[in-house]
Amino acid sequence: MAGKKIIYHCYGGAHSSVVAAAIHLGQLRVDKVPASKELMALTLFDKQTKEGHGRLHFFGFDEYGDEVYSVGCRNVGYSVTKFLTKIKEILNAGDEMIFIDTLHCVNLKMRIGGYISRRLGMVKIGRPIVLRGTREAYFELVKLVQQVKEGSFA
Amino acid sequence: MNYIYLGVGDLYLPSVAAAVHLKKIDEYLPPDSAKLFTIECFRHGEKCDEGALHYIDSDEHGNKVFVSCAKGQLDVFVRAVQSLLGVYRIPVKDIKVIPCEPENPQAVGICKALRSLGLWQAESALASKLAYNCFSSLVKKVERPTD
């Protein structure tokens, strides 16, 4: 049975979108901030490279049978979602596609840490910063995912 | 099959590429300024054009040709479309995104600056020059299916 395709997107596809997808699929708890080890155990968390930007990464099926993806769209997230939506219409492809921008949940530490780790390649400096930032922003991401599940973003 | 010519910041180069594809202009003769401005969608890109698809026409094989533009990062769009095809299990040959980037991307910014200063004629002149200079590389980028 075909479900919706839920696509979380952010700048680099390495932090907020990955965490949101994991929360959606129940890989992270919604009542407790995960430890850094739990975040690092997520596929792609602080591992995405710029060659991966634009690629939709499949995370799994949620309890409703919807497919959950994450993608990094750099600073063209809105245009990419519009572009893909139009292409889906042209191709008459089936299932509904929902794009959720997780960038508004990203705080300064995530931006700085993510930039240092991913862009500059200074992982030892950037990663602890982005981990701390992600843990601080965690419940914002939980709230976002709950809104998605309730259908507020449909 | 669907072809999408994707420009950066404006529709000048993708519209020329689309016109070459559809044989509306001669690929062996770079068009002059007057001819360029008769090409459909040969204009600057507005905010609403980013990510939007403008259907131009269908070629002699029935393939649809579109133009679009984005403010940058065209590689992200190309990969996103390839990913989308994989997600929906659609053959790769059903849609092709061809980036039409100028060799000197600063020209796009200068066009935008001229437009924001109200220097429309200067912008048009620069756009024509850009399209003329990039014509041979656009002709090479144009994709046509083999019979």
Tokens for B136, please give them: 């041979």
| Tens digits of residue pLDDT in A11-25 | 999 999 999 999 999
What percentage of chain B reaches a pLDDT higher than 70? 97
- Residue percentage of chain A with pLDDT more than 70: 97
Which ipTM value was assigned to this complex?
0.92
Average pLDDT over residues A68-87: 95
B74: phi > 0 → left, psi -120 to 50 → alpha, else beta; which?
alpha
Contact list, B79 vs chain A (CB under 8 Å):
53-55
Confidence class of residue B105 from pLDDT cuts 50, 70 and 90? confident
Question: What confidence score (pLDDT) does residue A2 get?
Answer: 62
- The two tokens of residue A63 are 């309890």
Q: Is A93 helix (H, G, I), strand (E, B) or coil?
A: coil
Supply the DSSP string of chain B, one letter for each residue: -EEEEEEESBSHHHHHHHHHHTTSS-TTS---HHHHTTSTT-SBPPGGGBT--EEEEE-TTS-EEEEEEESS-HHHHHHHHHHHHHHTT--GGGEEEEEE--SSTHHHHHHHHHHHTT-HHHHHHHHHHHHHHHHHHHHHH------
Average pLDDT value over all residues in chain A: 93
Could you give the CA distance from residue A130 to residue A115 in angstroms, rounded to a whole number?
9
pLDDT of residue A12: 93
pLDDT at A152 over 80: no
Residues of chain A contacting B80 with CB distance shorter than 8 Å: 54-56, 71, 73, 80, 83-84
Report yes or no: B46 at the A interface, CB cutoff 8 Å.
Answer: no
Looking at residues A126-136, what average pLDDT do you find? 97
Domain boundaries, chain B: 2-141
Residue B116 predicted with pLDDT over 60: yes
- Torsion angles phi and psi, residue A46, rounded to 5: 55, 35
Would you call B8 an interface residue with chain A, using a CB distance cutoff of 8 Å? no
